Amino acid sequence: MHNPAEQKMVGPTSQKEFEDCTFEWLYWPQAHQPYSPDTVEYIKSLDAERDIELLKFHGWDLPPQCARNLRISTMLLKKGVERALTPFAIGSIMCRETVKKEAVIEQIIEEAQEAELPGISEAAFLQTLSSIMDRRLDELFP
């Protein structure tokens, strides 16, 4: 189990960090429609590492937690598109249904953190998280 200071650096896992997470577009009718082929191709081309480097090039040095969140959200978006999920389905994974019920993404991150060995690299952590995310997506969207 991580202490709270370590958890803050590893990922957003506390209620306070996610209770306000909502996307207004989840309530738009088009959020229930599949992505267009052009949008799917664009999403497939996304590369979080390239985006992080581009931000650094332009003077934006992302804190490690922000970089991790970008990697995780990009991973979720790409995996969701691979499974033909709608924007609503993907966005719902990131948002809590209620203030007290963790979002699915929080559960995935927490499970990856619990499986994490001390001193594990970011790449190894993300690989573990990716496997857990695949399993959870397969459970949610068989």
What are 106-140's pLDDT values in tens digits?
999 999 999 988 888 999 999 999 999 999 999 99
- Domain of residue 93: give its range: 22-140
Residue 15 lies in a domain: no
Residue 2 lies in a domain: no
- pLDDT for res 19: 57
Number of domains in the chain: 1
For tokens 């979002």, the residue is 103
Residue 85 lies in a domain: yes
Residue 12 lies in a domain: no
Which ranges of the chain would DSSP assign to H, the alpha helix? 4-10, 15-18, 37-45, 48-57, 64-82, 87-94, 104-115, 122-140
Per-residue pLDDT of 4-31, as tens digits, reads 333 333 334 333 455 567 889 999 999 9
Distance of CA 104 to the CA centre of its chain: 9
Residue 95 lies in a domain: yes
pTM: 0.84
